[in-house]
Amino acid sequence: MRQRTEGRGFATRAIHAGERPDPTTHAHKTPIYATATFAFDTAGEKEDAVDRALAWEPGAYFYSRTGNPTNRALEEKIASLEGAEDAVVSASGMAAVASTLLAHLGSGDHLVVGDELFAITKVLLDEDFPRRGIGVSRVDTTDVAAVETAIIPATRAIFLETSTNPRLRIADLAAIAEVGHRRGLLVIADNTFLGPALLRPLEHGADLVVHAATKYLSGHGDAVSGVVSGAKALIDPIRQQTDTFGQAASPFSSFLVLRGVRTLPLRSRAGSDNAAAIASFLESHPKVAWVHYPGLDSHPDRAVARRLLGERAGAMVTFQPRGGLQGMAAFTDHLALCDIGVSLGDIHTLVYPRPKDGGIIRLSIGCEDVEDLIADFELGLSFVD
């Protein structure tokens, strides 16, 4: 059998890591192992497989809630791209966030978190954590001194979004990691809004990195999935939590995310380049009140973003048309190309109006021709008074 390699470059590993022709059928793409259970020739072989799987040994399978070859291929691919020792996939991004935090926090512990978070993460922290006796302090993570001040003797971890939802603030990840590690804490980064083609938090000191794989990793809006990467000693408790809470990823979803990750570098480049052009267009438009985009010089965290991300600042843009709620609706309700939707990271551009935030609009810029996007946004803005 010829020797195989996954390559060294990021784009090569996005295509090849974790995958190889199926050893039984020689199928070129990773199959969907649509099975609940795995069969064995002997009772002893079954017991050995169960013991190895429950010791979280890669490649040991007995029941798909605990481990599945399609899911494992995705875990190996993401671990390679993140520069991590291991990764575990789960049923959704929130499953990844919840299992990560609950695996490493218990009653009496305390968590420092960013003050701008995904809505359901807020529900987890505000409603579920108090019942479990876990304390939470929210802080502006772009203020490193404030992060350190929020740490108390019971603090066990810092959790932050690398680009916040929805205002796209960018924290100095390396500085926060230094503070956290000096105080003996885990540093957990939710990198959903950027993805590993643009930022790999482990390279900047984070201990664990979480993604809603539904978003940029999948990239096609057709799979719900989550993943967390890091050292195996930190991943194993999360894998156990994912198993015991029944949060296993669907092999079909993992198959779709595998498909998506192969084009992640291409989509990240196209989306970021489009977003930079859209942000500049909006910032110069007389019917736009303000624009938040980490690639603009007007962004408050531009220097940090440039240091962490280089020339590409992601595909998310948040702005507010003039006229508040009426301006928001006038813009979104007259678009002819882009759809209104609550998700992000799709190859399609998605427009998310947020009336509860005063009429701001969050854009997830896709891979369309940028001239078509600008024409559509110009159309929408023409209806803003």
SS3 46: helix
Contacts of 1 (CB under 8 A, 6+ apart): none
User: In 149-204, where do the E strands start and end?
Assistant: 155-161, 186-190
- Answer yes or no: are the C-beta atoms of 318 and 361 closer than 8 Å: yes
Nearest CA to 293 out of 333, 285, 283 is that of 283
Nearest CA to 278 out of 362, 194, 177, 182 is that of 362
Please, what's the b/e burial string for 23-51 (b: 16 or more CB within 10 A of its CB; e: otherwise)? Answer: eeeeeeebebbeeeebeeeeeeeeeebbe
Report which residue type is found at 339.
Answer: D
Report, as an integer, the average pLDDT of 331-342: 97
Give the Cα separation of 74 and 262 in Å (integer): 11
Q: 292 versus 22: which is more confidently predicted? A: 292
**Residues 225, 298 within the same domain:** no
Query: Cis omega (within 30 of 0) on the bond before 166?
Result: yes
CATH (domain of 329)? 3.90.1150.10
pLDDT at 3: 76
**Residues 240, 163 within the same domain:** yes
4 within domain boundaries: no
Give the Cα separation of 49 and 246 in Å (integer): 20
Q: Please determine, for residue 4, whether its predicted confidence score (pLDDT) is greater than 80.
A: no
Q: 4 versus 168: which is more confidently predicted? A: 168
Whole-number mean pLDDT of the chain?
Answer: 96
Q: Which residue shows structure tokens 């192969």?
A: 262
**Residues 169, 128 within the same domain:** yes
CATH (domain of 134)? 3.40.640.10
**Residues 95, 217 within the same domain:** yes
Give the Cα separation of 299 and 143 in Å (integer): 15
Tokens of 39: 């069969």
**Residues 189, 311 within the same domain:** no
Report, as an integer, the average pLDDT of 89-108: 98
**In this structure, what are the phi and psi dihedrals at residue 287, rounded to the nearest 5 degrees?**
-95, 10
Q: Among 205, 229, 253, where does a domain finish?
A: 253
171 within domain boundaries: yes
Q: Containing domain of residue 272, as a range? A: 264-381
**Residues 336, 228 within the same domain:** no
Angle of helix 264-283 relative to helix 370-381, nearest 10 degrees, comes to: 40
Give the Cα separation of 107 and 255 in Å (integer): 37
**Residues 328, 297 within the same domain:** yes
Whole-number percent of the chain with pLDDT over 90? 95
- Which H or E run includes 359? none
Whole-number percent of the chain with pLDDT over 70? 99
Residues 34-52: pLDDT tens digits? Answer: 999 999 999 999 999 999 9
Query: How would residue 194 be classed by pLDDT, with cut points 50, 70 and 90?
Result: very high
**Residues 249, 341 within the same domain:** no
Query: How would residue 294 be classed by pLDDT, with cut points 50, 70 and 90?
Result: very high
Q: 1 versus 70: which is more confidently predicted? A: 70
pTM, two decimal places: 0.95
Report which residue type is found at 120.
Answer: I
- Answer yes or no: are the C-beta atoms of 207 and 188 closer than 8 Å: yes
48 within domain boundaries: no
Q: Among 230, 253, 276, where does a domain finish?
A: 253
pLDDT at 20: 87
- Answer yes or no: are the C-beta atoms of 243 and 66 closer than 8 Å: yes
53 within domain boundaries: no
Report, as an integer, the average pLDDT of 176-195: 98
Q: Which residue shows structure tokens 């020339």?
A: 311
- Which H or E run includes 230? strand 226-230
Give the Cα separation of 49 and 64 in Å (integer): 13
- Answer yes or no: are the C-beta atoms of 312 and 267 closer than 8 Å: no
Q: Please determine, for residue 1, whether its predicted confidence score (pLDDT) is greater than 70.
A: no
Query: How many domains, in total, are found in the chain?
Result: 2
Read off the DSSP letter of residue 128: I
pLDDT at 279: 98
**Residues 119, 205 within the same domain:** yes
**Residues 179, 268 within the same domain:** no
Report which residue type is found at 214.
Answer: T
Residues 140-184: pLDDT tens digits? Answer: 999 999 999 999 999 999 999 999 999 999 999 999 999 999 999
235 within domain boundaries: yes
**Residues 357, 320 within the same domain:** yes
32 within domain boundaries: no
Give the Cα separation of 351 and 341 in Å (integer): 6
**Residues 165, 277 within the same domain:** no
Report, as an integer, the average pLDDT of 326-351: 97
**In this structure, what are the phi and psi dihedrals at residue 384, rounded to the nearest 5 degrees?**
-85, 130
Give the Cα separation of 224 and 209 in Å (integer): 18
231 within domain boundaries: yes
Read off the DSSP letter of residue 178: H
Q: Please determine, for residue 261, whether its predicted confidence score (pLDDT) is greater than 80.
A: yes
DSSP-assigned beta bridge partners for residue 114: 139
Q: Among 221, 253, 285, where does a domain finish?
A: 253
Q: Which residue shows structure tokens 């196209």?
A: 270
**CA dist 280 → 22, 285, 359, 367 (Å):** 47, 9, 20, 17
29 within domain boundaries: no
Residues 202-251: pLDDT tens digits? Answer: 999 999 999 999 999 999 999 999 999 999 999 999 999 999 999 999 99
